[in-house]
């Protein structure tokens, strides 16, 4: 075979291999840039949602610190509606945060804040309960916005509130079962409903 043709074929083969390598490198680079841009976009969405939730929670914290509560036994009070509305807005913002670590960590104080009635029989105890949960959520969101890798552990107030909540729920369940049992024992054995066959 003619050496010029062999040289041309080798050169052509080298050009094809170079073009393929260049195309492959460009594809890998574009794919990586696309993934990086997607991750940056997800983080930016999460950061904006966290800042929005943080703003709502800080407003709620200020509201809870300045609310004047009645001293008598709780009835529905305007502070409750205002606080729950702000808590709902913060919850909706936190739901837009991507990933599982932050939503899983924030769920405990969020649920406990919604269960503020287990804080005690007086408004002041309920406000204090919700304020502890809001402070914990603010701490977690601040760490997220600062791009800290580790989420802070549950605060001691949240852990104590978890135990109180579980204990009071159990007491509530037992009381309901006792009342149900007493109602069943006190019923008239000769009673039949009007629509009985």
86 within a domain of the structure (yes/no):
yes
40 within a domain of the structure (yes/no):
no
DSSP state letters, 5-38: HHHHHHHHHHHHHHHHHHHHHHHHHHHHHHHHHH
> Cα separation of 184 and 181, whole Å?
5
pLDDT value of position 185:
74
| Total number of domains in the chain | 1
122 within a domain of the structure (yes/no):
yes
31 within a domain of the structure (yes/no):
no
pLDDT in tens, the chain (197 residues): 678 787 877 787 888 888 888 888 888 888 888 888 888 888 888 888 889 999 999 999 999 888 877 666 656 667 888 889 999 999 999 888 888 888 888 999 999 898 888 887 777 888 888 999 999 999 999 988 888 778 888 888 899 999 999 999 999 999 999 888 887 776 666 666 665 55
Q: Nearest Cα to 139, choosing from 114, 124, 125, 157?
A: 157
175 within a domain of the structure (yes/no):
yes
13 within a domain of the structure (yes/no):
no
pLDDT value of position 174:
92
Classify 128 as helix, strand or coil: helix
Q: Nearest Cα to 88, choosing from 130, 136, 129?
A: 130
pLDDT value of position 103:
84
Contact predicate 119/167, CB 8 Å:
no
41 within a domain of the structure (yes/no):
no
**Host domain of residue 179:** 50-185
Based on DSSP, count helices (H) and strands (E) in the chain, helices before strands.
5, 0
Residues comprising the chain, all counted: 197
With both helix axes pointing from N to C terminus, report the angle between 101-114 and 78-95 in degrees, rounded to the nearest 10. Answer: 170
pLDDT value of position 24:
85
33 within a domain of the structure (yes/no):
no
pLDDT value of position 193:
60
Cα–chain center distance at 28: 35
Contact predicate 23/111, CB 8 Å:
no
For the entire predicted model, the pTM comes to 0.71
Rg (CA), the chain: 31
Contact predicate 59/3, CB 8 Å:
no
Q: What are phi and psi of 97, to 5 degrees?
A: -75, 125
With both helix axes pointing from N to C terminus, report the angle between 3-66 and 123-145 in degrees, rounded to the nearest 10. Answer: 160
Token pair in block for residue 44: 């930016």
């Amino acid at each position: 075979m003619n050496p010029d043709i062999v040289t041309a074929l080798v050169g052509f083969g080298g050009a094809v291999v170079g073009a393929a390598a260049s195309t492959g490198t460009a594809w890998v680079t574009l794919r990586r840039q696309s993934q990086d841009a997607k991750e940056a976009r997800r983080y930016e969405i999460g950061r904006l949602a966290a800042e929005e939730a943080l703003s709502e929670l800080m407003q709620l914290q200020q509201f809870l610190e300045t609310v004047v509560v009645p001293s008598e036994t709780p009835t529905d009070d305007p502070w409750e509606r205002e606080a729950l509305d702000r808590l709902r807005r913060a919850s909706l913002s936190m739901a837009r945060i991507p990933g599982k670590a932050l939503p899983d960590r924030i769920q405990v104080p969020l649920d406990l804040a919604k269960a503020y009635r287990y804080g005690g029989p007086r408004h002041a105890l309920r406000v204090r309960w919700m304020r502890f949960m809001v402070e914990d959520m603010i701490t977690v969101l601040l760490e997220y916005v600062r791009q800290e890798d580790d989420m802070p552990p549950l605060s001691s107030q949240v852990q104590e509130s978890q135990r109180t909540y579980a204990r009071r729920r159990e007491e509530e369940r037992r009381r309901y079962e006792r009342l149900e049992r007493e109602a069943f024992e006190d019923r008239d054995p000769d009673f039949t409903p009007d629509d009985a066959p």
